[in-house]
Chains A and B, each alone.
Chain A
Amino acid sequence: MMDGLALAGRPIVEPDVSFVNLDDGDVEPWRGELTAWDLTVISGWWQTARFDVPEPVRGPLSPEEILERLGRSRYFAGIPADELKSTLAAMRAFLFERRGADRVLEAMEEGADVVIGHALGAVAAFNAVCRAPADALVTVGSPLALNPQVGPVVRRWCNVVDVHDTLAFNEGLVSSYGLVSDTWLDCDPRLRAPRPYLASPEFGRVLADVSAPAVAPLG
């Protein structure tokens, strides 16, 4: 984040951060069948994924074949098909069962001015802020457009999204949520790595802006 501030030309301050890693457990083994929602998401990923070397595709592909190929896309590079299925299950849990929100709320107990979430962490951050208002929310590479809800109570909500973010379906949030500002960038994002986003000047500008105290009117 400090690199993002530096690249944005803003003062470099070491932020007082509580870090919540929602990806710290073993990946849950995939069980069961793909749901209709899963198939829709896989189709969306396939349409938005970016590949360095396009492979010729002859005829329709099964979901398994698509998942295998997605593991060679820039966003999902290296992720085996079974773990992509587990990612789908995790998406359902975060989007529809509010997974992770409790852990974010715990971290917010000592006071948080700005809550930042990346990828599925952005969904958890959103759900936490809906229950305990914060001053500002920054969602980064968020798939929240897949399940539009009533937005949280915050002074500012900024969404940072890459033009090639497969998890977010290359979509911003303003058309789904209204009271949010989308900031677009091109940082070569990847599912397992928030750094391309956080070390970008676009994110640095957003962070500096939402961290600044509200300006009192003169008079």
Chain B
Amino acid sequence: MRRIRPDGQLTVFIGGLHRSGTTLLASLLGTHPEISAFENTGAPMDEGEHLQTVCPTDEHHGGPGRFAFTEEAHMTEASPEVAERLAAQWSRYWDLSLPVLLEKSPPNMLRFRFLQQAFPHSKFILITRHPVPVSLSTRKWTPALSVRRLVEHWIHAHDLAMADSAFLDAFMTVRYEQLMKRPSETLAEISDFIGLAPSFDASSVDDAANDRYFEQWRSSPEGHDLHDLEDAVNGHGYSLAETGFRGVTRRGGPWDRRSAQDAGLAPA
């Protein structure tokens, strides 16, 4: 059986909450001639988590909007035997003649440390998106969850991922909003991070997707009780107040208005 060469190929792992743009980013990176991404595998969204039987999938931990609250979803250690099985199973779907192998699954955001141990020659990309569109769009799958609970899940998942990032040798955060607003520049930054010349097709980007959710958020009575979550959201560079939702007040944190304006998150 063909196998990934531990010393030769670079593996790039994308993680991020459902509805954060993981699939979009993976499909954009997959247009690069030197990157092998999973395609036509039969698995939902061609996600690597569904193309192996070694690790649980996010659905085993409650699925979108819930999985990060399950302790077992946060994986940090990998045994050599597990690493070998994972590499063998994913090698069935990669084009091993290419220098960069890409795998995307939302729960990777809580498994980057585990994956670094299993694939020592690897780099990690966390894609983040404003909690309002993430929560509102996730809710179509999880109607039993409140928006508050989904925002709390967003905060918890990103807290864990950012804490884990300190242990990673090669880690990059991509904001969905910046990818939408400046796809060529953002993809050039990712190319630089991966170590490839930029050669992506970004023609499929729809930069109005967030606006629709913000409008829905503004017109919804829900969220009036989210003041207490603002600081935690600020800590990840977003603001509930800056969506224009009345009644939520920004209370500091590393929220940068200029960056937000550049990314289209705040009014100019």
Contacts and interface: CB of A to CB of B under 8 A. Distances in A.
A77 interface: yes
A78 B57 CA distance: 12
A199 B53 contact: no
Scoring A51, A71, A76 by chain B CB atoms within 10 A of each residue's CB, the highest score goes to: A71
A30 to B, nearest CB: 13
Interface stretch (A2-10, A35-43, A102-110, A210-218): A2-10
Contact of A72 (B42, B63, B89, B141): B42
A57 interface: no
Contacts of B53: 27, 78-80, 83, 192
Nearest to B66: A3
A52 B42 contact: yes
B40 interface: yes
B199 interface: no
A8 B143 CA distance: 10
Contacts of A12: 144
Scoring A7, A51, A76, A83 by chain B CB atoms within 10 A of each residue's CB, the highest score goes to: A7
Nearest to B40: A53
B144 A52 contact: no
Q: How large is the interface on A (under 10, 10 to 19, 20 to 34, 35 or more residues)?
A: 20 to 34
Q: Tell me what chain B mostly uses at the interface: helix, strand, loop, or mixed.
A: loop
Contacts of B57: 192-193
Contacts of B52: 78
B51 A199 contact: no
Contact of A77 (B50, B59, B144): B50
Interface string B125-157: 000000000000000011111000000000000
Interface string A20-59: 0000000100000000000000000000000111000000
B144 A80 contact: no
A54 to B, nearest CB: 10
Nearest to B143: A6
A76 B53 CA distance: 11
A74 interface: yes
Nearest to B63: A195
B8 interface: no
19 contacts: A3-B141, A3-B142, A5-B144, A7-B143, A12-B144, A52-B41, A52-B42, A73-B42, A74-B42, A76-B42, A77-B41, A78-B89, A79-B53, A80-B92, A83-B53, A192-B57, A192-B59, A193-B57, A199-B142
Interface of A: 2-3, 5-7, 12, 27, 51-53, 71-74, 76-80, 83, 188, 190, 192-195, 199
Interface of B: 40-44, 50-53, 57, 59-60, 63, 89, 92, 141-145
Q: Shortest 6 CB-CB distances between A and B: which pairs?
A: A2-B144, A77-B42, A78-B51, A6-B143, A77-B43, A53-B40
